[in-house]
Amino acid sequence: MSYRRVTVSSFGAAVVSIADAKAHLRVDFDDDDALIAGYVDAATRYVEKATGTAMRAQTWSFSLDRFWNRCQPLPGGRVTSVTSIQYYDVSETQQTLSTDDYIVSLGIVPAIVEAPNGWPGTQVRENAITITYVVDGPNEPGLLQAVKMLVAHWYENREAVDNDMKTVPIGFDSLINMHSAGWYG
């Protein structure tokens, strides 16, 4: 079975403020604010991609070839709402599942969408089901620290010029690995 996730939109604020990033960098001037803001955005995206976890409010679209079981986990972190569940029925007509036909457990990660009476029959095809939902950043201290560490690394090492280029600190990799998709603790 295959699936794909698409971030439809990101609408959350920066997860690390410029002031917090500058404090971490020990920068006390404003000349590099735009540069630091760019690093914060890029580092946030990097951490999101590496962990499969949203760090700011986003709308995600998760597509499946078929429903797994009665309970369908939703990746991405803390889900705050399910916008819609659309599917292609056996006659290849796109339908939207009524909210009365499923229950969403939002208090857990990953969130679970459950069909108490079973899921409807779907067409056998790629992306037969699309679940659209809003996921909010977990604000996990470890992930926020990983963003700051990556910002600091990029700020101190702006260009790769030779083989002596420093690698990202080991602590960064440890934080990312601990929060990678599939690890729930």
Ramachandran angles phi, psi of 6, nearest 5° = -130, 130
Q: Which domains does the chain have, with CATH numbers?
A: 9-55+138-178 (1.10.3230), 58-136 (no CATH)
Average pLDDT across each block of 10 residues of the chain; the chain has 185 residues. List them in order: 62 86 97 96 91 87 85 88 95 95 91 92 89 85 92 86 62 78 45
Q: Given this model, what pLDDT does residue 124 score?
A: 85
pTM: 0.77
What's residue 76's pLDDT?
84
Instruction: Supply the pLDDT for residue 21.
Output: 97
